[in-house]
Every structure is written in structure tokens, then in C-alpha cells.
Amino acid sequence: MALQVGIVGLPNVGKSTLFNALTSAKAEAANYPFCTIDPNVGVVMVPDPRMDQITSFIQPKSVIPTAMEFVDIAGIVKGASQGEGLGNQFLSHIRQTDAIVHVVRCFDDPNIIHVAGSVDPLRDMEIINTELMLADLDSVEKKLKRVEKAAKSTTDKKLKMEFEVTQKLYEALSKGLPARSVTLDELEEPFRKDLHLLTSKPVLYACNVSDTDFSAGGNEWVTDVQKRAQEEGNKSLMICSAMEAEISQLDKAEQKEFLASMGAEEPALHRLIREAYQLLGLQTYFTAGEKEVRAWTIRAGTKAPQAAGVIHTDFEKGFIRAETYHCKDLFQYKSEAAVKEAGKYRVEGKEYVVQDGDILFFRFNV
């Protein structure tokens, strides 16, 4: 499941530094706009403490966590929707992603240029969000012109519905509302998805602060961003990209020592990755045995046959049943045999909705 999260923001807010920390890559990070032109893509392991707990009881030969892709997209400036600063090229990169991490500068540093001349997170958020909406409005307006005439001269219900959905989206965007604010039913939703609108994607605001403010628990700028994100129905978190980049270069022992000195149990990046994972509506199930413990990614609400299909299409085609128990049962009873003795080991059929943290064994016949 190659799902991507795009990292966006104004130039010089810490996007590439954050990307480097996430992937331990070496994307260029420089103190001038547009030092990133081509998007950098990195595969990131999703940290899940349950994996360590499972392996402590099952002790496999190999452990394979689940992963997701992050894309570092060059800085967007005011006028990007009209092509300013190579804007159209950058916006096309975002269209290919499934969710957005919007990095907002919440630190002041005279040595790092701000493209707008001053630090103002709410203004910066507005610039990015406006450019995304203007780009969407242009796309939807063009689509509306194409489908309106055809919809009025046909009895095709599908075409009429496409026109109605496009019209709803156009009206919302014209009022300065994001595409995600439009409520659509199950039949209508595919038409919005087909448009690949920038403002239909879920957003996580990453407040990039100095190490001092991170240790202090934030600042007024962070509070402002958190409040705005809540009003929009989006999520936010605080991070210090520079510090996370340093932590990512340390070995495990050094990381543990450094985090302990900061009074933290894990890097803030781990929370960002998990938040982005959840932003996409994803969850994890496990397969566990002496050969391998592996995490698998599915969308919330996935039924057993489709979850099996993530491993191999034959598993879904020939699905018979799923034998399952929750990882919490393993943590409580210490072994699969004890889980069975406690009556927690179940057999489920085709209608079973897989739960986050399930440990599954599939029976199939092809």
C-alpha cells in the first residue's frame, strides 16, 4: 500500500530538515528559497512499540514493521496557484499525495531568512491554504464547464451526479472553504476523489519550534496554530526539526541517553509518523510466528478477506477463515497457547472487520 504524505510549507520553515530527520536522508537544506525543486521521496518505518512486545513472547527470526512514504515538496509562495516560484510544478507534486504535513515556522532566528520578512504562523498558514484552494477552484471550474452542458442534455444519472458534486465543490471553494468541508455520500465521494483536489486531503500542522521552546512546551505561536487547526477540524503537533535531525544521526544508545536528558521517552518524530499514519485512516494488524513477526497496513474498516489480500491476492481469492486474537491478549497471557486456554483465540469469517492490533492467521484454498 504505497500511500504518500507530502511535506509542505513556505520556503525556509524546516521542511527539508524534517524530511532528513524522518528518513535519515540527505535532502539539501539551505538558507534560501527553492533549494528543493524535485520532490525527495523517502520510505519511513512506522514505529510501533507493540512489535517489540510481540517479539518478546514469540521470538521470531525476523521482524518487519510497516512503512509509509514521505515526500519533501519545495516551498510554496504567495501566487503559486498562478505559477509564482515554480508554483504549478510544486502543486502538481502535492496532488499525487494522500495527506499533507504542513510545516509552520514557530521560531524566530535572524540568521534564517523568512520569505515574508517576519514570523507569523497564522499568516503563513493562510498563504498556503489560499494557494491550495485557488488551485482547486481553477481545476473544479474547468471540470464544471465540461460536465454542465453534458449533464443538462442527458438522462445518465451518473453524469448528473458528477455535475452536482462538482457544483457543490465549486460553491464551497468560491466561498473560501476547502473541498474536504463538503459532505458527500458514499456514491458521490468517488467523484471528489477523481479530481485529486489539494484541499480534500487531511492535514497535520507541524509547529516547528526552537529547541528552547520545545523543552518549555511551546510558545504563543504554537498555541495560535493549535487553535486554528482545531477550528478547521485538523490536527497539530509541536516538533523541533533541527533537534530531531540531530537525534536521527545518533545510535540507539546515544538516542536513549539524549532523550532521557530531555525528559522524553521517544523522538517527537515517532509521534508525527503515527499521527500521519492515522491521518490516512490506516491501522495495523500482525502476522506472528517463529519465522517472522510482520506488521501489515490496512484501512480502518477492512474485512478479513481484503486484509488477507494485502499479503497476497491468492489469500483473498481463496479465503476460508481467519484465526485471530488481539495482541493485548498475548501481552496478558504471555503465549499463544495460554491465549487459547483462556478462550481468547477466535475463528472469524468473511464478514469480520479486522481490528487494529489483531494477530491473524489466514486459512485459504486456491
Query: Is 72:7 a contact under the CB 8 Å cutoff?
Result: yes
> Chain-wide mean pLDDT for the chain?
88
3 state SS for 62-119: EEECCEEEEEECCCCCCCHHHCHHHHHHHHHHHHCCCEEEEEEECCCCCCCCCCCCCC
Q: Where are the beta strands (DSSP E) in 118-224?
A: 203-208
Cα atoms found within 13 Å of the Cα of residue 171, Cβ hemisphere only: 8
CA 170 and chain centroid, separation: 26
Which has more confidence, 262 or 160?
A: 160
Per-residue pLDDT band at 78 (split at 50, 70, 90): low
pLDDT for residue 338 is more than 50: yes
pLDDT for residue 36 is more than 90: no
Spell out a b/e string for 333-345, using b for 16 or more CB atoms within 10 Å of the CB, else e: beebeebeeeebb
Any bridge partners for residue 204, and if so which? 101, 235
Region 27-53 average pLDDT: 68
Can you give the pLDDT at residue 80?
A: 47
- List, for residues 9-29, the tens digit of each pLDDT value: 888 898 888 988 888 745 444
Can you give the pLDDT at residue 34?
A: 39
Region 301-320 average pLDDT: 97
User: Which residue, chain included where needed, has cell 471550474?
Assistant: 141
pTM of the full predicted structure? 0.85
Rounded Cα–Cα distance for residues 42 and 19 (Å): 8
- Name the DSSP class of 200: G
What would the DSSP string read from start to end of 238-283? EE-HHHHHHHHTS-HHHHHHHHHHTT-SS-HHHHHHHHHHHHTTEE
Per-residue pLDDT band at 2 (split at 50, 70, 90): low
Region 287-312 average pLDDT: 96
Can you give the pLDDT at residue 24?
A: 75
Can you give the pLDDT at residue 77?
A: 59
pLDDT for residue 91 is more than 90: no
Can you give the pLDDT at residue 116?
A: 74
- List, for residues 108-150, the tens digit of each pLDDT value: 998 887 777 889 999 999 999 998 898 899 899 999 999 988 8
CA 26 and chain centroid, separation: 21
